[in-house]
Structure 1
Amino acid sequence: MTLAIDAPVTITSAPAPLSVPTADYRRAVDAGARLVDLRDPADRRRGGALLGALAVGLNEALDALTPGQPAALRSAIPDAQWLLISEDGHDAEQLAWHLQARGVHGARFVIGGHRALRAAGVGGTVTGVSPDLFA
């Protein structure tokens, strides 16, 4: 059996890059990307918080960030720009692919994850501040 294709395969639009290098992290945030910290609570305590990030469990993130899902966050709108961060970047990359497959084209991940951000001096814990400040 032979398969013949009569028409060329074309892509209607250029795909957006899924990955964000650590050096471009601040630029992505300044451009309006919403940070999503996928690390579990113990990793966040050990490695430090990403100030301003949504803390979403990895198991809930796919539905939470997909518009129209029953468990979707209110901020999960079709043109949302998500910047996904896991400990080493691998879980965030997989989630970005799954979100893209669901039509969430603004989902991207940080290469190297939180480890790479820590190595670059981004994030960390808040020290020397009274806990009453957050009450």
Structure 2
Amino acid sequence: MTVAVAAPVSAPFVSVPLSVQPGEFRSVLAAGGVAVDLRDVASHRRSGALFGAVAVDSDQALDLLSPDSPWALRGATVDAQWVLVSDDGYDAEWLAWHLQARGVTGARFVVGGYRALRAHGVTGSVGDDGVQFYDPR
């Protein structure tokens, strides 16, 4: 397969790092980041939920998180701070690159993905308004 491009693909320089280390996950969310869980339903059942994250199918994520897309979520703006999480981090990294190329300069991915978060004892963040849903009785 041969791909021809009429003009070089480029994106502006971004001073925000592209990745988030698992130990930084909670502080990035506290600073305004929005966790986006790209894992499928089978992964959620097998490994557990990422509490407080927006669950988005990885096949649709680029359209849902890009502000210039007709299918964009209401929160999809150029200044959105998406923190993308996939099983191992690779899909999230690919999407972060593409979102930044589309002008979403705050798109980042978690190094090592959900597996690394679990290894660090992080399974998400639930605010006071959401704790009631997870409170066992």
TM-score by length of 1: 0.81
The one-letter amino acid of 1:107's match is: A
Deviation at 1:15, TM superposition (A): 3.1
Q: Structure 1's 73 and 101: CA in aligned 2 closer, same or farther, altered over 3 A? A: same
Q: Structure 1's 103 and 44: CA in aligned 2 closer, same or farther, altered over 3 A? A: same
Query: In structure 2, which of residues 127, 133, 136 is the aligned counterpart of residue 129 of structure 1?
Result: 136
In the aligned structure 1, how far is the partner of 2:18 from the partner of 2:111?
10
Question: Structure 1, residues 4-42: CA drift from partner, whole Å, max 9, x if none?
Answer: xxxxxxxx8553210000111111011010000000010
In the aligned structure 2, how far is the partner of 1:13 from the partner of 1:97?
12
User: Does 1:107 pair with 2:107?
Assistant: yes
Give every structure 1 segment of 4 or more consecutive aligned residues whose post-TM-superposition deviation is greater than 4 Å: none
The one-letter amino acid of 2:41's match is: P
Q: Structure 1's 127 and 31: CA in aligned 2 closer, same or farther, altered over 3 A? A: closer
Identity of aligned residues (%): 58
In the aligned structure 1, how far is the partner of 2:134 from the partner of 2:107?
31
- The unaligned stretches of length 5 or more in structure 1 are 1-11, 131-135
In the aligned structure 1, how far is the partner of 2:21 from the partner of 2:98?
20
In the aligned structure 2, how far is the partner of 1:129 from the partner of 1:24?
28
Aligned to 2:32: 32
Deviation at 1:127, TM superposition (A): 7.6
In the aligned structure 2, how far is the partner of 1:97 from the partner of 1:80?
14
User: Does 1:58 pair with 2:63?
Assistant: no
Contact kept in structure 1, 2:14 and 2:105, CA below 8 Å: no
Q: Structure 1's 49 and 16: CA in aligned 2 closer, same or farther, altered over 3 A? A: same
TM-score by length of 2: 0.80
Q: Secondary structure at the match of 1:87?
A: coil
- The unaligned stretches of length 5 or more in structure 2 are 1-11, 125-132
Aligned to 2:49: 49
Q: What is the RMSD of the two structures over their aligned residues, measured on CA atoms?
A: 1.9
In the aligned structure 2, how far is the partner of 1:113 from the partner of 1:13?
25
Greater C-alpha Rg: 1
